[in-house]
Structure 1
């Protein structure tokens, strides 16, 4: 087992599949190694919602070894993506949902040869940017288990960073792919709106803000997986424009000389750590080393009002979800969910339809302005997280914030959130760790988190590059060059290194 665990730990998914095709390792050996490592690291990282070990072993015995990712262990996030017969918790103590069929994306992942060994943890309904929930507890960072993985795809990122699987499904509605990637030293591609399918459980989520893809060890893995899974399903209300070629080919070619913008400001006007600025400077230096023209820019259309409209839109989406869950379960479920979720849902209920529509129109107008403003740039570098990964529990409501949440919850004074000072206080409490990722969820642009930096304490800080709408190809080519220049694929979290 040690030999196969080492192979699993050392290689990305593309490399593992090549070993399977050449006959150097069998899918059953890879899957057994992944299950063994999942069990060995379970207490350390707490990243699994449901185990699929028996299913995985059966699939490994019959998988077609000629498939692009034949026999490669994988994980599916416990949110929105259905696996037939597997309980979906959505990170919540609310009643589980058991799908009777796979989601389209899951079918495509399995058709590529991937073998799911588990579902990965997420905060309740993906609402927090750390993966801590009353249902599953704390998911911990393999680089330092006293620190967070980020969220909401934190379980996926922990499993990849710990070497359990080489890549894992993830989703992103306000940074939920990029934040865990930035915290765990991984590549995290947030795709263009409509690039990958979200159905059939949903046609869109959070008014189209949410996209589905993966966290990976390497850029080439992210690119090849996107080649194998992109394209709308029958329920999609829109689709991203088609690529000019394959994403894998884009990741394999030199990007040429690009024009790169750099955005340093906080759209919330909140503090940014020196470590984050150092990470951004590292990314800028790598871009210049790659021969690109780098220009400092501002994004005047992105401010606190933009972020407030985003947060209010999410609140209305959660209110709607709670209504749908009440219908499915035949009773209200607000008593089952966490306090912060309950407060957010209640605020979504007191917003008028007119307020929601006006906010969405403002977001769309800002998106058009941003896309026009950044059109001269092939990519724009900006932070993902404002601080290094914080200690676990570091984003829990405390002091005044906790008191406000308790009062709003117990006395059902959610209408007080209509007062800007109170809403702003709760928004800052939720987003002080990560100020930027929601921008691309609103605009629909692709963005890729790149693991360019380690702090002196040995904690990762990733930086993102945002691209033009529908242009993942340029981002993947640029990120692959950054990967080569920085050598980040040789970095591994120190947790339980195989001997």
Structure 2
């Protein structure tokens, strides 16, 4: 199987060819291995040695033998070392068991070939770390692929893999999807299991899923891996029909709110991001949807203060648990400067600070839920900018305190964190282009638990503004 043939196929198409006997699992694996050989060193997107053979997976899953990778953060596989982008973990700590989602990835038939890079402990909107170096965006290797799932996004955008694991606590699926020209679906809080390690990672804001090149891959994979595990805190109703059916079925007429001002108090918006979003709004109007300029009324200052409490307390706890287990006192030889500053800030917080943050989050969730009584979806830019230069979001910059680092990150991404707080499903779609040819992401947000509406509308936008043929100029395996 040649690169050119492999690169043309999304995960759904590859799985169908294997299932129908037109391709063997070995042929697909060899094509993926060759693609990774070509792409991974140039992009610096793989962590550690690739696996000699794919991790064990089902032969009869809906994505049987489709090449895959897991991000080196949160989700883990039994016996595979995890480094989390930090020197604190050295060459990695082998994990004792699968997380629940990893078990479901295996059951779906995904053939895991590698781990993908992440910034230190995932607290960045780029994928650069002292431990592993910068990951390069295949559209322009001087630019960031976004973060924190930038390693996965770079490999999928470069056609080395059709799909890869990603997670999202403030935009870490959607930001790299926007920067790399991919589909980035963040499911509703509780739609995929965070267990058994977590009940509510990042005070409930952390969600696990994947980055894909097509909406149908996102829908089919969500069908394969969503659902309750015993002990999970949330039990969401199953969708009325498979998500994959929503792709073909198309959307009902929707009330769409167009909003191009960041929900947090951060940053100007690049006109190209605004223009791409407004163009998407016109497309939706052409498809018969009702579009109005509107957004929920939120206290941006209170939101950012609460979000800072959530992030720094979670980071401090993670650092302290790891350091205690390893028997070390974390310092600059283990952690980057901004990570240390944020962990130190997190250690100063009291229980009252966490409850105060939760009150803000509660008010935010209820304000957004009320807004969705009037509007079925919200349309925004995904990022404030199409992408950022490598080095701009330097997590080892000692000049920034915790709030300064938080503000710096979210000055590039003022639209994504709101859906982490509310738990609403959100998707980034590569609907725009810059004069350089870079992709521009547009975000759609639906009410909590309503991935069905989100996927149906995303599929309509994909048909109206197809992006699959638009590829990185020099960063693919071809």
**What TM-score bracket applies, with the shorter chain setting the length?**
over 0.9
Question: TM-score under structure 2 normalisation?
Answer: 0.95
User: In the alignment, what sits opposite 2:221?
Assistant: 225
Give the Cα–Cα distance (whole angstroms) in 2 for the partners of residues 120 and 320 of structure 1. Answer: 24
Q: CA deviation at 1:497?
A: 4.8
Give the Cα–Cα distance (whole angstroms) in 2 for the partners of residues 343 and 475 of structure 1. Answer: 38
Q: CA deviation at 1:403?
A: 5.9
Give the Cα–Cα distance (whole angstroms) in 2 for the partners of residues 403 and 24 of structure 1. Answer: 55
Q: Is 1:404 aligned with 2:383?
A: no
Give the Cα–Cα distance (whole angstroms) in 1 for the partners of residues 79 and 398 of structure 2. Answer: 41
Question: TM-score under structure 1 normalisation?
Answer: 0.91
Q: CA deviation at 1:182?
A: 0.5
Give the Cα–Cα distance (whole angstroms) in 2 for the partners of residues 391 and 297 of structure 1. Answer: 32
Any idea what SS the aligned residue of 1:304 has? helix
Q: CA deviation at 1:292?
A: 0.7
Check the 8 A contact 1:8/1:166 in 2, yes or no: no
Q: CA deviation at 1:376?
A: 1.9
Query: Which of 427, 430, 440 is the equivalent residue of 2:409?
Result: 430
Deviations 1:205-256 (Å, cap 9, x if unpaired)?
1011000011001001001101110012223122333211111111221212
User: In the alignment, what sits opposite 1:273?
Assistant: 270
Deviations 1:429-456 (Å, cap 9, x if unpaired)?
2211111111000000000111101111
Q: CA deviation at 1:494?
A: 2.2
Check the 8 A contact 2:139/2:475 in 1, yes or no: no
Query: Which of 71, 74, 79 is the equivalent residue of 1:85?
Result: 79
User: In the alignment, what sits opposite 1:363?
Assistant: 361
Runs of 4+ in 1 over 6 A off after TM superposition: none
Any idea what SS the aligned residue of 2:88 has? coil
Check the 8 A contact 1:193/1:239 in 2, yes or no: no
Give the Cα–Cα distance (whole angstroms) in 1 for the partners of residues 48 and 449 of structure 2. Answer: 34
Deviations 1:357-413 (Å, cap 9, x if unpaired)?
112111111211121122221210011111121211122279xxx5633xx6xxxxx
From the superposition, tell whether residues 352 and 125 of structure 1 become closer, same or farther in structure 2 (CA, over 3 Å).
same
* The structure with more helix, counted as a fraction of residues: 1
Query: Which of 257, 277, 282 is the equivalent residue of 2:279?
Result: 282
Check the 8 A contact 2:309/2:346 in 1, yes or no: yes
User: In the alignment, what sits opposite 2:15?
Assistant: 17
Q: Give unmatched runs, 5+ long, in structure 1.
A: 409-416, 418-422
Any idea what SS the aligned residue of 1:382 has? strand
Any idea what SS the aligned residue of 2:369 has? helix
Check the 8 A contact 1:203/1:236 in 2, yes or no: yes
Q: Is 1:261 aligned with 2:240?
A: no
User: In the alignment, what sits opposite 1:491?
Assistant: 470
The equivalences for 1:76-475 within 5 A come to 76-95=70-89, 96-266=92-262, 267-335=264-332, 336-396=334-394, 402=397, 404-405=399-400, 423=403, 425-475=404-454
Give the Cα–Cα distance (whole angstroms) in 1 for the partners of residues 416 and 477 of structure 2. Answer: 34
From the superposition, tell whether residues 302 and 473 of structure 1 become closer, same or farther in structure 2 (CA, over 3 Å).
farther
Q: CA deviation at 1:320?
A: 1.2
Give the Cα–Cα distance (whole angstroms) in 2 for the partners of residues 126 and 137 of structure 1. Answer: 14
Check the 8 A contact 1:178/1:449 in 2, yes or no: yes
Report the count of equivalent residues: 474
Deviations 1:339-366 (Å, cap 9, x if unpaired)?
1111000001112211221121111112
Any idea what SS the aligned residue of 1:41 has? helix
Root mean square deviation, CA, Å: 1.7
Check the 8 A contact 1:194/1:240 in 2, yes or no: yes
